[in-house]
Each structure stands twice: as C-alpha cells, then as structure tokens.
Amino acid sequence: MNVYSRLIILSCSLLVCAFCFSACEKKSTEEGKLIVSESEFILSQFSDNGWSIDAKGKVKNVGEVDVKRVVVTGVCKSCIEVWTPMKWFTYSQNDDIVSSEQKDVVETIGHGEEDDSMFDQKDIISYISVGNEASFSFKEFAYFYTQSPDQKPELPPEEELVIIIESFLTAEE
C-alpha cells in the first residue's frame, strides 16, 4: 500500500472515532422536581343526594429546569371503587367503563356542572418556571350518595386524601 492510501484510511478512521466520541457525549442531568405546596379539599353538593370532593391548591417547581404539561389529580385512599350509597367511592372515566354505566350514574346522582367534561378529575398546568408556583383545581374525584337530601356526609380524614402529580415534561422536551 502506498503512503497516500494509508493516510486516507487513517484520516477516515480518526474522523469516525471523533464522530463516535461526540455522539456519545453525556447530556446534562438536570431534572424537574415538583412538590404540592398547598392543598385544600372541599365538600360540594351537586344534586339533592349527591356530594363530591373537589380540590384546589398550588404546585411548586423545586427542580433545576422549567416544566410544562403538569397533570395533577387527587386520590382518596379510603374510598371504595364500587358505587354504594352512604360510602365514599371513586369513579374514574376509563376504557373499562362503558358509556351506559356513566349514564346510569349521571341519571341517578347527577354530575355537577353541565358540560362535556362530566368526570373532570384532573387539572393540567401548562408551564411552571424554576422556583415558581402555579395553582390547580379540579372537581369530583370522590363521590358520596345519600338516601335522603337531609343527610350531609363528612369528608374522609385528611391523611386519606392525597394530591398526586401524575406527569410532567421538562421545558426542553
């Protein structure tokens, strides 16, 4: 092999190695971190016999990057998942629940505000910069059905009601 061919092969090899090293460069490990800084649970009556738990509060960005599309919801740990009178229960809209079951619940106990988002149990915060807070509120994440309009339920214990940050994206994504 002549010197010219060896020089071309060596140059190409160095170019490929340089490309590999630059492509494998570590990205920064900055992550978003959020905390629920304030929360309040509200008992609201949406029909004669139907009650629900609504929530509001604030989420604070304590991470190193701005975040977007923060999905916040609530969970009642002591609630049952079966619609039963005189007990707190949860009812989530998902693929396992057919629309006829939703219609039965709405016809029996109502659903609060008359709009297309009948079971609006989440809030989405569009953007929170580092160190700042944003407010959230959502309705009807737990229900109570009474047999008489005169009965008013008590909220479950505060430690059984939890605000959960389901998901978020960093602003760079």
The per-residue DSSP string of 111-157 comes to -SS-SS-TT--EEEEEEE-TT-EEEEEEEEEEEEE-SSTT--PPPPP
Model pLDDT, residue 104: 55
Please give the structure tokens belonging to residue 24: 């494998």
Confirm if 71 and 168 have CB atoms less than 8 A apart: yes
What band does 16 get if pLDDT is binned at 50, 70 and 90?
A: confident
pLDDT tens profile 67-115: 999 999 999 999 998 888 899 998 765 444 444 445 555 555 454 444 4
Domain 34-170: which CATH class?
mainly beta
Q: Find the DSSP H helices in 89-168.
A: 99-109
Mean pLDDT computed over every residue of the chain = 81
How far apart, in whole angstroms, are the C-alpha atoms of residue 121 and residue 164? Answer: 11
